[in-house]
Amino acid sequence: MTFKHQNSPENMDAYLEKAFNLKQLEKELSNPSSQFYFVYFNNDVAGYLKVNIDDAQSEVIGDESLEIERIYIRNKFQKHGLGKCLLNKAMEIAAERKKIKSG
């Protein structure tokens, strides 16, 4: 698990309980301003992306912005370019929702 080596088991347990308990997940999944995308590798869920707009943003970054709150790839699926696929998906969503300023 990412960041596990940087945290105590107690801190990891507290974070996992807060961020991924059933009530919290139901709240996140029911928010129309949050979207989840899953990436598969050989028919296995390899990772996921969570993006937020508007009131779903975990930090106030503005209406013109799209927030990538989570982007995770399971360890055994890393080094296959899947994280890049999820990042590209986030950029695609941002462009569709006019959350990217063109230079």
The pLDDT of residue 17: 72
Residues 21 and 66 placed together within one structural domain of the fold: no
Residues 25 and 47 placed together within one structural domain of the fold: no
The pLDDT of residue 29: 86
Residues 41 and 70 placed together within one structural domain of the fold: yes
| CATH code of the domain in which 68 resides | 3.40.630.30
Structure-block tokens of residue 97:
């929702």
| Residue, of 47 and 103, whose pLDDT is higher | 47
Residues 47 and 91 placed together within one structural domain of the fold: yes
Residues 8 and 41 placed together within one structural domain of the fold: no
The pLDDT of residue 7: 77
pLDDT digits (tens, 9 = 90+) for 54-88: 877 877 777 788 999 999 999 999 999 999 999 99
Q: Which residues span the domain enclosing 99?
A: 32-103
Residues 60 and 82 placed together within one structural domain of the fold: yes
The amino acid at 59: E
Q: Which residues pair with 48 in a beta bridge?
A: 38, 72
How many domains does one find in the chain? 2
How big is the chain, counted in residues?
103
Residues 70 and 20 placed together within one structural domain of the fold: no
Please tell me whether the overall predicted TM-score, pTM, comes out greater than 0.85 for this model. no
Least reliable range by pLDDT among 4-8, 49-53, 66-70, 73-77: 4-8
Outline where 1-103 has alpha helix (H).
9-20, 22-30, 82-96
Residues 24 and 74 placed together within one structural domain of the fold: no
Residues 69 and 19 placed together within one structural domain of the fold: no
